[in-house]
Amino acid sequence: MKKTVKLFKSLSDETRVRILVLLLEHGELCICDLMTALDQPQSTVSRHVAYLKNSGWLQDRRGGVWMYYSLRSGLSALFTELSALLRNRCTELAECAADRERLLAYKHEKNCI
């Protein structure tokens, strides 16, 4: 029960939900990508990413000096069902659309697309 409660608590913050939606849509991202997409400072984004990682949502990998985050592989059925729900319901929200636009513009500027 404690794991389930922790999972639902992790979804109780708008920034964390927006991070999950970005990762669901775009796959692996670094903190600088998330900072730009969310238009929030590094400290805020890092704190929420750490919370999601500790809640079991995310995995990380080091690429040189950068840390990259993605959805954890092998998520339980509950995580998978909630991921699908987030993707289906939240991607149409104005905030998520704005996040997507900022991220795509940033990646285009960096010549990542």
pLDDT digits (tens, 9 = 90+) for 51-106: 999 998 999 999 888 899 999 988 788 888 888 888 888 878 899 999 999 999 99
Res. 112 pLDDT band, cuts 50 70 90: low
Domain range list for the chain = 2-109
Q: Identify the pLDDT of residue 99.
A: 95
**What's the CATH number for 2-109?**
1.10.10.10
Mean pLDDT on 24-34: 94
Q: Identify the pLDDT of residue 65.
A: 87
H/E run at residue 62: strand 58-63
Task: Give pTM, 2 decimals.
Answer: 0.91
Going by C-alpha positions, the residue among 12, 21, 4, 17 that lies closest to residue 78 is 4
Residues 6 or more apart whose Cβ sits within 8 Å of residue 100: 22, 25, 37, 91
Query: Average per-residue pLDDT in the chain?
Result: 90
Residues 6 or more apart whose Cβ sits within 8 Å of residue 97: 91
Residues 6 or more apart whose Cβ sits within 8 Å of residue 34: 19, 22, 45, 49, 69
